[in-house]
Amino acid sequence: MENWCLRRNKMRRLLILEDGSVYEGEAFGSDKFQIGELIFQTGMCGYQETLSDPSYYGQIITMTYPVIGNVGINRDDFESMNPQLFGLVVKEYDDYYSNFRGKMSLDEYMKLKEIPGISGVDTRAITKKIRDNGVMKATLADEDEDVEKVVAALRNTSKVTNGVKYVSTTKSYTIPNGEYKIVLLDLGVKYGLIRELNKRGCSIVVMPYNATKEEILSVDPDGVVVSSGPGRSRYVSSVVETVKNIARKVAVMGIGLGCQIICEAFGGNIEEAKFGFHGNSCPVIKLESGKVEFTSQNSRYYVEEQSLENTPLKATYKNLNDGSIQGVRHEELPVIGVQFTAEASPGADDAKYIFDEFVEMMGGVR
């Protein structure tokens, strides 16, 4: 009975959308006011990794899985030092976590990192609205806020364009290991990507997203990996140009946003998806073999298939749900890219072999 009373006494909070829709629920986490893009994420597990994925910068995430918080927060499952999302929307928040690794509740962590949250709302209805009407701006506000003023503020707020500059490292640093030297352009790098490269004997020089061609080549790398990150390739046009200039010098691999950058660098066109791809087990088909693989995805944009017709890029993977391109390979140069996060963390890890292919590709360039 005591726990029930504690839940009933929680503060009320509003989720307000730019179309004027209002959802009332219970507050948890911080009370910070932030305007972000409202999306939905279909993963059934791994909410800690999702919260700490830099690619979610500027977004308010609606979790479609109904119960969130039941395993708390631990020290091991972070994908970056600081979470970058602007809010969390859940059906049911569980403050009483059960996990032998747990160190604090999700509520405590979100207060510490100034992330607002709301629970007790109809996440199925919210997901359906996003699916039918597309991503829209939203915010989490106190129950006594003037809704009309908040809606006006939402409509007058421009969406974030270059979120990469807020999540990228500002200084280069090295993670020494083995035979191959890789420059990792940090557009919002996850620890999982670093782990997968380290496992394959790669020494990594992590550089800011705006590192120049000269700075990259000065360390004499065997390959360059362009990480995933928030936003679209046109917002980081300098990286597109850099990739175009280094591709004839070293092997290049792009993940997520990095794949979109490769596509744009070689003549492809990137378009905005209606509601994007956000989940831990999204099916793709490998075109060469016909094999179906499950992947972790987080992207608001996609490669327009027709735009690749007169380019040197060949599609290697497609999404089984909508047929969108999920991977490319250059027909002449050692350049590959995948739209999904091959390192998973969280989610299905069917496609981790792509890192082995990249290491083999670097060996062929030497």
Q: Are strands 202-208 and 251-255 parallel, antiparallel or unpaired?
A: unpaired
In this structure, which topology does domain 164-365 adopt according to CATH? Rossmann fold (3.40.50)
- What pLDDT is recorded for position 159? 82
pLDDT of 186 higher than 70: yes
Q: Can you tell me the mean pLDDT for 145-158?
A: 96
pLDDT of 1 higher than 60: no
pLDDT of 8 higher than 50: no
The model's pTM is: 0.94
CA distance 165 to 186: 10
Q: CA 328 from chain center: how many Å? A: 19
Residue 366 — very low, low, confident or very high, per pLDDT cuts 50/70/90? Answer: low
Residue 9 — very low, low, confident or very high, per pLDDT cuts 50/70/90? Answer: low
The pLDDT tens digits of the residues spanning 210-250 come to 999 999 999 999 999 999 999 999 999 999 999 999 999 99
Residue 7 — very low, low, confident or very high, per pLDDT cuts 50/70/90? Answer: very low
Answer CATH for 2-156 from 3.40.640.10, 3.30.1330.40, 3.10.250.10, 3.50.30.20: 3.50.30.20
Q: Can you tell me the mean pLDDT for 344-361?
A: 93
CA distance 188 to 280: 18
Burial (0-12, 13-18, 19+ Cβ within 10 Å), 38: buried
Q: Can you tell me the mean pLDDT for 277-291?
A: 95
- Mean pLDDT, the chain, integer: 94
Q: CA 71 from chain center: how many Å? A: 22
Residue 2 — very low, low, confident or very high, per pLDDT cuts 50/70/90? Answer: very low
- What pLDDT is recorded for position 211? 98
Helix or strand or coil: residue 122? coil
Residue 4 — very low, low, confident or very high, per pLDDT cuts 50/70/90? Answer: very low
- What pLDDT is recorded for position 363? 85
- What pLDDT is recorded for position 106? 98
Enumerate the CATH 3.50.30.20 domain ranges in the chain, comma separated.
2-156
- What pLDDT is recorded for position 98? 94
The pLDDT tens digits of the residues spanning 49-89 come to 999 999 999 999 999 999 999 999 999 999 999 999 999 99
Candidate from 79-88, 272-281, 323-332, 357-366 with smallest mean pLDDT: 357-366
Residue 239's nearest CA partner among 251, 250, 228, 223 is 228
Enumerate the CATH 3.40.50.880 domain ranges in the chain, comma separated.
164-365
Q: Which residue has the tokens 């631990």?
A: 74
CA distance 208 to 73: 29
pLDDT of 14 higher than 50: yes
Torsion of CA 276, 279, 281, 284, to 10 degrees: 20
Measured in Å, how far apart are the chain's first and last C-alpha atoms?
68
**Exposure of 64 in the CB half-sphere (CA atoms within 13 A):** 16
